[in-house]
Structure 1
Amino acid sequence: MNETILVLGASGQIGTELTEKLRSVYGKKQVIASDIRGGNAAIMASGPFEIIDATDKETILKTVKKYKVTQVYLLAAMLSATAEKYPQKAWNLNMNSLLAVLDLAKENHIKQVYWPSSIAVFGPTTPKENTPQKTIMEPSTVYGISKLSGEFWCNYYHKKYGVDVRSLRFPGIISWKSKPGGGTTDYAVDIYFKALEDGNFNCFLSENTRLPMMYMDDAVNATIQLMQAKSEAIKVRTSYNLAAIDFTPKEIFEEIKKHVPDFTITYNPDFRQQIADSWPSNINDSEARKDWNWKHQFDLAAITKDILINLKK
């Protein structure tokens, strides 16, 4: 457990909560949070914080040397819906940040790298039901293209240089602590805020669009569990399929209505519908469950109850 961890992109939706959890596990001084600008006040106050552009290898290296960093969690990325608006920017951020960190590991400045992939690596030709670990992957979004390329870079650096890099293909992540960050599955976060603030929700996906989802607590726990597993247990060096639950906008709406009876919803699909239609409905993550004993804990009812209790506070 004698690790010193640098989190790049610590102010994002996952970064904020992962940093909190890592600090509770490894100690506040052992986890250096960083982002391209100042972020969450609690994260900046509870331990070291550095301003770092995740594509700037030299600044990352200075920080690694300053704190004697052993692990880098690279979370900086431009997400699916935003990336479609700024394709070149998204590619540069998503690729150059990964190559910078993989190079630092290849040069033995750090021991371990964590980098999240996404269900966006799949595409319209991928089997939609029970999507297997190895399958057809023809992503149709800039985000998906960058994540699929990144998976192969991770595998290449592991095979060629022995870099201990680990990755998870995240489904949609649901959380109440930070607002959404420009992803296609963001409706499943925003809907809870709107249920309590406005009493109605305008959904940008159609009512029966089924997508794989996961509660933030499960996503954070999976990430740390993967990084703590013995190296020989990690058999997949592209990225592991990761799953918990799947649902449609109609199903999440009906679950919220049990707690907020007057809640209403309208459906106005926009450009994000096309992105969602290219992704799987549910994922087979049996390899993660077999290799390092992954288990999720939250279903839709438990997620809804927990979020609404916390938001009301």
Structure 2
Amino acid sequence: MERIIITGALGQIGTELTLKLREKYGDENVLPTDIKEPESDELKGKPFEILDVRDKTRMDEIVEDFKPDTIMHMAALLSATCEKNPQFAWDINMGGLVNALETARERDLKFFTPSSIGAFGPSTPKENTPQVTIQRPTTMYGVNKVSGELLCDYYHEKFGVDTRGVRFPGLISHVKEPGGGTTDYAVEIFFEAIRNGQYTSFIDKNTNMDMMYMDDAIEAIIKLMEADASNLEHRNAFNVTAMSINPEMVANEIKKHIPDFKLFYDVDPVRQGIAESWPNAIDATEAERQWGFAPQYDLEKMTVTMLEAIRNK
């Protein structure tokens, strides 16, 4: 990679991905895009373009002007948001993906887009979920993600596009607060622990889900994109994870630093239903074997980092 365009650059992953790529490749070689202007001081005053990913003409104009060799397509609506407006979710998640893939095909660009553990469903094995397994999701978000995995495989096999991707678990960050995901409790709980000393979880106490600290997620993207293509057998849906946790586990770790922290529950049936359709713990062996995936943060280290960073804010 030398010149990179990022769609959805103000989203959950895109903001931190932009900063890390600019640090590595230079401000002039990384062009973030989104449907609104950046508010973050770190992104203001630097190259940025407005782009609705449904607008293929505008996407082509930006690509023609910037001349990238890589597209990182991060623009998407998250799980709970998709359930509120499934048709709109399809338009954004799938329409935008097709436009970005077509752009990559037409201009011979390397391509990355993330999938998710949401691509699994109730009939998927819950424990040690394999790289290749049954995928019958019951949410629009999940349907989008499975469709996206297959579409990226198709563009690689049919047109030779160098497509790559991972199935992200819940991502935890202190930089950007949550935006409509089922795993959002695992971010909110840290902010509320600092602000109020308590948190009311919308996910039930014994509900395990895979999670990863955002720094590990960003490193995974870059490592996969820099990997030798000849080593990649699966390409567009590598299982990645760092920990399988539930709200009680997070609360207990927080209490080591904030002893009076209290956790309550008011379970949201929609998001709880989504969580229960996902695996409890997935197997990331193939990502480790094929391109050296190796997360650095466990729950203990992540908790210390999150609480310190939020206090400093």
- Whether the TM-score (by the shorter chain) exceeds 0.5 is yes
Residue 100 of structure 1 deviates from its aligned partner by: 0.6
**CA shift for structure 1 position 234:** 1.6
Measured after TM superposition, the shift of residue 41 of structure 1 is 2.2
Q: Secondary structure at the match of 1:7?
A: strand
Tell which deviates more after alignment, 60-69 or 166-175: 60-69
Q: For residues 93-144 of structure 1, what are the alpha-carbon distances to aligned partners after superposition, in whole Å with 9 as ceiling and x for unaligned?
A: 000111111111221x242011000000000010000000011111011000
What's the CA shift string for 1:261-295, capped at 9, x where partnerless? 11111111112100000000111011110000110
In the alignment, which residue of structure 2 is the partner of 1:19? 18
Q: Does structure 1 residue 116 correspond to structure 2 residue 114?
A: yes
For 1:46 and 1:139, locate their aligned partners in 2 and report how far apart those are by CA, in whole Å.
41
The correspondence of residues 1-313 of structure 1 with structure 2, limited to 5 A, is 3-45=2-44, 47-107=46-106, 109-270=107-268, 271-313=270-312
Question: Where do 5+ consecutive residues of structure 2 fail to align?
Answer: none
CA distance in 1: counterparts of 2:70 and 2:39, whole angstroms: 22
Which amino acid counterpart does residue 252 of structure 1 have in structure 2? Answer: V
TM superposition shift of 1:43: 4.3
How far apart are the structure 1 equivalents of 2:46 and 2:238? 30
Q: Distance in 1 between matches of 2:21 and 2:43?
A: 14
Separation (CA, whole Å) in 2 of partners of 1:121 and 1:46:
37
- Give the Cα separation in 2 of the matches to 1:106 and 1:52: 19
State whether residues 71 and 104 of structure 2, in contact with CA within 8 Å, keep that contact through their aligned partners in structure 1: no
Q: Residues 36 and 50 of structure 2 are in contact (CA less than 8 Å); yes or no, is this contact kept in structure 1?
A: yes
Contact 1:255/1:304 (CA < 8 Å) preserved in 2?
Answer: yes
The alignment's C-alpha RMSD in Å is 1.0
**TM-score, normalised on structure 1?**
0.97
Shift of 1:42: 2.9
Indicate the percent of aligned positions where both proteins have the same amino acid.
Answer: 47
- How far is the alpha carbon of 1:69 from its aligned partner? 1.1
Partner AA of 2:109 in structure 1:
K
- Runs in 1 of length 4+ with deviation above 2 angstroms? 39-47
Query: Would the aligned equivalents of 1:31 and 1:47 in 2 still touch at CA under 8 Å?
Result: no
Q: TM-score, normalised by structure 2?
A: 0.97
* Distance in 2, Cα, partners of 1:237 & 1:100: 20
Q: 1:68 to 1:97 in 2, by over 3 A?
A: same
Tell me: CA distance 1:110–1:19, structure 2 relative to 1, closer, same or farther (3 Å).
farther
